[in-house]
Structure 1
Amino acid sequence: MRTVVERERKFESPDGFRMPDLSHDGIAALDEPALFKLDATYYDTPELRLTRGALALRRRTGGADAGWHLKVGAAGGARTEHQRALTKSTSPPRDLMGLVQAATRGATVEPVARIETRRREWRLLGADGAVLATLADDAVVGHDLVDDRRVAWHEIEVELVEGDEDLLDAVERRLRRAGARPGSPAKIHRVLGERLDVLTAIDAGAATPVLAYAAAHRDDLVAHEPAARAGDVDGVHDMRVAVRRLRSTFRSFRELWDAGRVDGVRAELKWLGEQLGGVRDAQVMGPRLAKAVRREPAELVLGPVAADLSERFAADEAAALLALRRALTSRRYATLLSTLDELVETPPAMRVSPRWVNRRIHKAVRRADSLLDTALERQAERDTGDDDPALHEARKAYKRGRYAVEVRKLAGDKNARKLVRGLRGLQDLLGDHQDSVITRQVLRETAVQAFGRKANTFTYGLLYAEQVAHGRALVRALPAAQAKSRRRKLRRWLR
C-alpha cells in the first residue's frame, strides 16, 4: 500500500470561464496539457458513514494513479490518500477496509456513486524545470446510484508537488480574480449532498445544535482514527481533541441524555483519551526538549543530553502507540462507537428551550472563571508555586467552557465566535503553563536516572530552571488575559 499526502485546493468555474495567465509568482511556465478520462466508483455503507466521516473509498480507472484510493482528512486542509493497485475484483482491498473498520462499524460497503471526469491537466513549472504543482480543469458528471440522481459541474483543482502554500495562495488569487470560486473539497459530497442532509437532519428542538455538535465530533473522531493508528502526529492530536470535545459536551449538557448511559460514555471516552494521550505526550515532549537543548550554548550541554532524551521519548512513543493500536481494534472501542451513535443520532426525550442551552453554556464558563480566580488568589496570598494543580484544573474548565460555547458557534452565532476567541487566548496561556509543569517533571525524572548512572546532570538543572522561569512569566500574564476574556461585550448574550 502506498500513502501520499495531498495539498490541494478546489474551485468552481462558471460558464465562460477563461484560464488566467499563471506564469507569475515563481511559476516560469505551464507545459502542454495532458488529457485524461477518469471513472471512479465510490463505496460506502447504506448510512453513508464514510462520507459523513470525511472519508472517501473509491475504485478509479484512468489517469496516472488509477487504483483503489482511500482519502482521509489531515491537518491544515491536506488529505492523506492510501493507494492500492487495481485488480479485477470490484471488492475493496482488505487492508483499506481495515483502516475504515471503525467508520463502517463492521458493516459491508457497496457502490453508492459513480463520478466520471474529463480532465485537462497542466504541470506548473519553476525556472529550474521543477514541477511546482499540477492544475486540473475538470468537467464532472456524478451519479447517485441509489437515488438515480445525476449532477454535472465544472471545477478546477490545484495540487502542490514541490511548491509551497505561498504558491497555492498566489494561484488562488489569480483564479478568483478570473471568476473562480472556492469549491467543495470532495466530489462525492457534491453528488450525495441531498442524501447526506436527510441522514444528518435531527429535530431536537433547541437541543438540535448540541446534538449536531456532538455528531460532528463523533465523525471527527472516526475520520482521524486511521491517521492516529498510523502514529501520525496530527492524526493523534485531532482524534484526541475530538474525544475531549465529546466528553465536554456530555458533561455540560448531561441532562439531555440518560444519566447512566452518558456517564458510562464519558468514562469510556476518558479511557480512549488516555490511550491517545500517551502517544501525544511523547510526540510533543520529545521535540520540545530537543529544541530546548539546541538553544543552549554548546559549553553548557554536558553529556549526551539530547541523545538520552531522544531515546527515552522514542521508547515511550513506541510503547504508547502499541497500546493505542490494541485499543482501537478492541471490542471495547467498537462498543463505545455504537453507543456514541445511539446518543447523537436519537433525539433526546427531554425538550429544552434556547434559554436552557444558554444557561448550561454560561454555567460552564462561570465555573472556569471561578476556578481561575481561586488559583490566582492562592498564588497571591500563599505563594503556592506556579505548579499549583489549581491552575491545571482551571485550564481544563476553560476547555470545557470553550467547547460549550462552540455549540452556539456551530449554529452560526457571531457572538459565540468572538467569545470562543477570547477563551482560547486564556486557555492557550494556561496550556503553555501546564506544558512547562510537565516538562519540569520529565526533566527531574530524567536527571535522577542520569545521576543513578553517575552521568553529569548540570544541563538538566539548567533546563529545569528555565522552565520554572517560563512558567512564572506565563502566570504573570494571566490577569491581563483573564480581564480580556471577561469583557462585557463578549458575554452579555449568555444571560
Structure 2
Amino acid sequence: MAEKLEVERKYELPDDFAMPSMIGIADVARVTAPDDLHLDATYYDTAGLRLTSGRVTLRRRSGGHDAGWHLKRPSGGERSELQVPATARQRTPPAQITTQVRALTRGEPLRPIARIRTHRIEQGLRTADGTVVALVADDTVDTESLIGQGVARRWRELEVELVDGTPDDLARIDKALRAAGARPSASPSKLSLALGPDHPAPVTDRAPRSAGRRAVADYVRAQRDTIVEHDPQVRAGDAEAVHKARVATRRLRSTLRSFAPLLDASEGDLDRLHDEIKWLTGLLGEVRDGDVMASRLSDLLAAEPPELVIGPVPTRIASLLAARTEDARRRLVAGLDSQRYITLLNDLDALVTAAGAAGRVAKRDLRRLAHRAVRRADRRLATAVGTPETTTAAGAGPDRDERLHAARKAYKRARYAAELATPVAGRPAAKLADRITDLQDVLGAHQDANVTADLLRDYGLRAFADGENAFTYGLLHARQAEHGRAALASLPRARRRATRRKVRDWMS
C-alpha cells in the first residue's frame, strides 16, 4: 500500500491538435519513446455517490504500470493517491480502502458506478541527467455510466503528471501546451464526464442568509469537515491529525453550548449530540495526551545533566507511556469503526443543514452570546484567584488547581466563541481571541505542569516498588512544581491584556 501526492493537469484538445516539441522547456532534453497503454477502470461509490460528492474517487484499474485499487482524495490544492494491489478475481474494495473512506461512506456498501477505458499514449519528459520532469499522456477515452441514464461517451484529452519536476516546471509545460491549442479541462475528472447528468453537482447554498447565520453555519460545517477529512490519518496514527480532529470536536462542543439559541434543534437533541461529541473528544484526547506527554517527558529528561538521570528512567517512562497510548489508539480505532461514530457523523450532517437553513441571526446576537461565554470564563477565574485587582497565587492546593483548570476550559469556550464571531465582528473579535489564547496558554502551562507532576509521582512510586532509585522522578516532580508556579506568575499580565476594554468593546 503506497500513498503519494499527485500533481497533474488535464487539457481539452481541438481536433487538429499536434503535440509541440517540449525540448528546452523546463530543462527537458529528450522525450521518451511513446508507451502504448490500454487501461480499463471500474469506479466505485455508494448508491448516493457519497465519495464523488466529497471529491473522492475510487477505482480498480487493470493495464498500465500501476494496476490495482486507486483512492484519490483532496490534499491542499492537489490530490493524494493511495494505491493498493488487486488480485485477479477481486471485485470488491479491500479493507485497506474501505476503512479510509468510512467517514464518507458511513458504512454504506460500495458498488460499480462507471467503467472507463482509456487508450493512452504516454511519453516521459527527461532532463539531460535522466530525471523525469513529467509524464504526458494523450488519452482517447470511452466511458459508460453504470447508474441512472447509463450515458456512453467518447473524447480525447491530454494529461500531464508531475514526477520529479517542480511546480515552476509544470507552469512552463502548461504555457507551451496552451500555445499549441490545448485548454484546461472544464471538467473536474473523467468520472464526471462519464456520469454525465448523474454526476452530483457541487453543494451550494443559494438561500439568502444573514451574515450572522452564515458565520454559525460555516463554523459548524468547518469542524465537521475537519473530522471527516482527517479520519484516515487519525486511523493511521498521525499525531497532527489526531490533534486537529480533537480541536474540531472541542469547537463543536463549545458551539453547542455558547450558541445553542441560534441552532435549530431542541435542548434535548443538543445535549445528546454534545455528549456524543464529548465521547469522541475523549477517545481522541487519550491518544493526543499520550503523544504530548511522551514528547514532554523526553524533553525534560534530555534537559537534565546525565549524572542526575539515575537508573532506567527514560526506558521505564517510554515503555509505560507507549503501552498506555497504544491501548488508547486501539480504543480510538474501535470507536471510529463503530455504528456510534457513524450516527454521530450523520447527526453532525443534520446539524450543519439545520444551522444553514434556519432563520436570520442578528449580529448583536452573536456578540451577546460571545460576551456571555467570556463573562462566564471571567467568573470562573475570579473564583480561583480573585478579581483582576487582587489576582493571587495564594491558597495553592487541589481545590484551587481544579478551579484554575475549570477557568482554562471556560476560556477555551470563550475563545472559540470569539473565533466564530470574527467573520461578523472582524479584527476586534480576532484580537480578543488572540488575547484569550495567551491567557489560556498560561493556565494551560500550569495545568500541564500539574498533570506531569502527578504522572511522575506515580511512575516514581512504581520504580521505588520495583527496587529502582526514584531520585530522578522526585527531581523532575520538583521541576514541574516550579514550572507551575512560574506559569501563574505571568497570569496577572495575561489577564489584564485579555480584559482590556478596547479588546472587548465590540461585544457591547
TM-score by length of 2: 0.74
**Distance change (3 Å), C-alpha of 1:431 and 1:177:** farther
Per-residue deviation, residues 93-146 of structure 1 (Å, max 9, x unmatched): 344223323321222345668898987655789x9x9x8x96567889999967
Q: Give how far 1:376 is off.
A: 4.4
Per-residue deviation, residues 337-375 of structure 1 (Å, max 9, x unmatched): 232222222356565323222322232234334434554
Q: Name the SS of the counterpart of 1:65 in structure 2.
A: coil
**Distance change (3 Å), C-alpha of 1:246 and 1:71:** farther
Q: Give the letter aligned to residue 102 of structure 1.
A: A
Structure 2 unaligned segments of length 5 or more: list them.
14-19, 176-183, 194-198
Contact 2:393/2:488, CA 8 A, preserved across alignment? no
- Matched with 2:460 is 447
- Matched with 1:358 is 367
The partner residue of 2:242 within 226, 236, 239 is 236
Contact 1:202/1:208, CA 8 A, preserved across alignment? no
Contact 1:48/1:196, CA 8 A, preserved across alignment? no
Partner Cα separation in structure 2 for residue 34 and residue 488 of structure 1: 71
- Matched with 2:277 is 269
- Matched with 1:437 is 450
Partner Cα separation in structure 2 for residue 486 and residue 140 of structure 1: 63
Contact 2:23/2:30, CA 8 A, preserved across alignment? no
**Distance change (3 Å), C-alpha of 1:212 and 1:465:** same
Q: Name the SS of the counterpart of 1:92 in structure 2.
A: coil
Q: Give the letter aligned to residue 259 of structure 2.
A: F
- Matched with 1:209 is 215
| Seq. identity, % | 39
Per-residue deviation, residues 370-423 of structure 1 (Å, max 9, x unmatched): 434554438944613397223322322232223223334567955545544444
Per-residue deviation, residues 423-463 of structure 1 (Å, max 9, x unmatched): 43443443333322211111111111112222111111121
Structure 1 unaligned segments of length 5 or more: list them.
24-28, 161-167
Q: Give how far 1:467 is off.
A: 1.9
- Matched with 1:475 is 488
1:91-240 map, 5 Å: 91-109=92-110, 135=134, 171=166, 195=200, 197-198=202-203, 205=210, 206-240=212-246
**Distance change (3 Å), C-alpha of 1:219 and 1:382:** closer
Contact 1:113/1:188, CA 8 A, preserved across alignment? no
**Distance change (3 Å), C-alpha of 1:197 and 1:490:** farther
- Matched with 1:384 is 395
**Distance change (3 Å), C-alpha of 1:47 and 1:301:** same
Q: Name the SS of the counterpart of 1:388 in structure 2.
A: helix
Q: Give the letter aligned to residue 81 of structure 1.
A: L
Q: Give how far 1:150 is off.
A: 11
Partner Cα separation in structure 2 for residue 429 and residue 189 of structure 1: 52
Partner Cα separation in structure 1 for residue 77 and residue 486 of structure 2: 30
Q: Name the SS of the counterpart of 1:100 in structure 2.
A: helix
Partner Cα separation in structure 1 for residue 162 and residue 471 of structure 2: 52
Q: Give how far 1:473 is off.
A: 2.7
Partner Cα separation in structure 1 for residue 56 and residue 305 of structure 2: 47
**Distance change (3 Å), C-alpha of 1:381 and 1:478:** closer
Partner Cα separation in structure 1 for residue 381 and residue 460 of structure 2: 32
**Distance change (3 Å), C-alpha of 1:141 and 1:372:** farther
**Distance change (3 Å), C-alpha of 1:3 and 1:394:** farther
1:191-340 map, 5 Å: 195=200, 197-198=202-203, 205=210, 206-255=212-261, 256=263, 257-340=265-348
Size of the aligned set, in residue pairs, is: 472
Q: Give how far 1:175 is off.
A: 6.9
Q: Give how far 1:86 is off.
A: 6.6
TM-score by length of 1: 0.75
Per-residue deviation, residues 34-54 of structure 1 (Å, max 9, x unmatched): 877788665444555335657
Q: Give how far 1:212 is off.
A: 2.8
**Distance change (3 Å), C-alpha of 1:177 and 1:34:** closer
Partner Cα separation in structure 2 for residue 154 and residue 487 of structure 1: 59
Contact 1:73/1:224, CA 8 A, preserved across alignment? no
Q: Name the SS of the counterpart of 1:392 in structure 2.
A: helix
- Matched with 1:164 is none
Contact 2:253/2:274, CA 8 A, preserved across alignment? yes
Contact 1:53/1:223, CA 8 A, preserved across alignment? no
Partner Cα separation in structure 2 for residue 404 and residue 449 of structure 1: 43
Partner Cα separation in structure 2 for residue 372 and residue 77 of structure 1: 45
**Distance change (3 Å), C-alpha of 1:69 and 1:482:** farther
- Matched with 1:401 is 414
What RMSD, in angstroms, separates the aligned Cα atoms of the two structures? Answer: 4.7
Contact 1:51/1:188, CA 8 A, preserved across alignment? no
Highest Rg: 1 or 2? 2
Q: Give how far 1:492 is off.
A: 4.2
Q: Give the letter aligned to residue 255 of structure 2.
A: T
Q: Name the SS of the counterpart of 2:311 in structure 1.
A: coil
Partner Cα separation in structure 1 for residue 484 and residue 492 of structure 2: 14
Q: Give how far 1:245 is off.
A: 1.8
Partner Cα separation in structure 1 for residue 83 and residue 59 of structure 2: 11
Per-residue deviation, residues 245-285 of structure 1 (Å, max 9, x unmatched): 22111112112221000100101111121122222222221
